Structure 1
């Protein structure tokens, strides 16, 4: 399996490793729950070097991304970022992405690790007729997330949420972004592989606690953020996931546009709160608590360390708010209720 530039650091810290999308990644360093609380209460430190980074540049870069992705990337100003998706011609989601506009003609597309080869291939396939280059970038990525992130990384009052700029961290040149996947304020730091260990050590010395993939999943679940392979797949559209707002249907021709314009979702992604102690898990069936009728399926679920009760995301038939719902947990119906998303929102 592939290893990030920080693999040796994780070994020295005693990390438990897991295979993830072909990468050997730290699952945890000690306690999942302890790392989760560190992010919510102070700051966590994540190695995201497994994420795919793809540089798109050239005179037609903005027009090309308008065509290839569902959002209007030409409207993004240099130094800003946009959450968007790459869809199949059927309207199904191939990956959800964060795209940074670095200059008028330079963009950075950040893809999920498992989908990075597909995103690179599809962008290359769609680039015919456009004056663009599409290239994979080999670079480390470190995230600092939590209420103490600004104190640890440093004050950057000019760097707003979903923005990026060149900066220095630990005396190294980086791209510093105000983005994240935990529901907390924080930064994502794009840096040279050779600089990653020194930057990690600097951030850890300043108080950021190393955190693994296990707590990253419970953090994003509490924040109601979708995970590809769970809430998103080629069998779901942005509208199914409640993310139709990111689709610019009025921008002209784009990949998947025809299918998305004709889309009429019959299901919706909802948040579920379990009233008992047993957690709904991915693949568990959502049923009518009175009749047993199948109404949907859980996509992600876990005990919430922050809230103190089990939570889940699930696709269900639309407009079920008035139904008594349950999840079939190993043959026993556990009562759940639909609640607003996100489950957790950081104090402002």
Structure 2
């Protein structure tokens, strides 16, 4: 029997009404109250997520930047101290190893934040490219991560610190922030389409901070949130999820994150040849938004058809809690990706009509 991994907050879930599920080998809360309530709290107020299952690697040494330039699609040389960057790692054929965040702490000192289900794979892949002058350390087991998301996030977190959080800009971070006596790295990147903060600290301190944030946010109507709302929120904002919009068989260009692929940077990177060709000539497939015309909800891996022929499949789909529409993201042949194109989705035994629409489906403000 597989033993599921747990974060340091596991013992707290029950007291907040958490319903846990197996998520990629982790026992994590899918919801506390309800997915819709938690989704709405983040869109209008604030919600707190335990994302301690995410992976963290340190990359240090005189050759750290050269190593990252080789293994990352984005241009890491553009980062300054205290700045974060979204990027991808690719195989030679352009397929995606993972999408991740890089934090530049100092010259030759970087923090990488990777997807939980890919920790071991990513570490092994990076390790296979390490050369002299590069130190790669997996610190995932020692780090707790909380994500406070929503328009009132700054107001809530500011109650716990003297650091002026308004000075932490988008894709910026500050280290050694004192949060109610606990030291943390606080960044502002977000995975919900709303303003918010990611808080990295010693995993032993995470449960105490979780309780303090929820207590501080009570007057603002903050809610503890689970994986269900995390997924519907990121889906509405068209933020990719590895294993769905991105896989070893899907390139960043196909997945619509071509902005993290800098094919003109000075240092060649792994997968550059294929990705440069796709950028110049167009990729054979494209990730698009679809809205159901007929009644039905598109789900992951449902086939997308045109005139009865398969042209792709749904990567993520649900009834949007914000828009109250049945929507999906689908990876389809590029020739059918134009807005307004009618397609069909195979939902169980029925072939139901849908139309290609603009995504993201939601933008804050």
The TM-score normalised by the length of structure 2 is: 0.91
- What CA distance in whole angstroms lies between the structure 1 residues aligned with 2:239 and 2:341? 25
- Give the match for residue 69 of structure 1: 72
- Give the match for residue 179 of structure 1: 189
Return the offset for 1:294. 2.1
Return the offset for 1:315. 0.8
Return the offset for 1:275. 2.6
- Give the match for residue 336 of structure 1: 354
SS of 2:352 mapped into structure 1: strand
Matched, 1:169 2:185: no
SS of 1:157 mapped into structure 2: helix
SS of 2:204 mapped into structure 1: helix
- Give the match for residue 294 of structure 1: 310
For structure 1, the 5+ residue unaligned runs are none
- Give the match for residue 253 of structure 2: 239
- Give the match for residue 94 of structure 1: 97
SS of 1:306 mapped into structure 2: coil
- Give the match for residue 224 of structure 1: 238
Return the offset for 1:258. 2.6
Q: How many residues align?
A: 344
8 A Cα contact 1:86 1:96, kept in partner: yes
- What CA distance in whole angstroms lies between the structure 2 residues aligned with 1:91 and 1:295? 21
Map Cα deviations across residues 60-93 of structure 1 (whole Å, 9 max, x no partner).
Answer: 2112101111111121111011110111122110
Return the offset for 1:21. 2.0
Return the offset for 1:245. 1.9
SS of 1:126 mapped into structure 2: coil
8 A Cα contact 1:61 1:106, kept in partner: yes
Q: 2:204 aligns with which of 183, 186, 194?
A: 194
* Runs of at least 4 residues off by over 6 Å: none
- Give the match for residue 307 of structure 1: 323
8 A Cα contact 1:170 1:198, kept in partner: no
Q: 2:12 aligns with which of 9, 12, 18?
A: 9
Return the offset for 1:319. 3.5
- What CA distance in whole angstroms lies between the structure 2 residues aligned with 1:183 and 1:323? 26
8 A Cα contact 1:240 1:267, kept in partner: yes
8 A Cα contact 1:96 1:228, kept in partner: yes
8 A Cα contact 2:74 2:262, kept in partner: yes
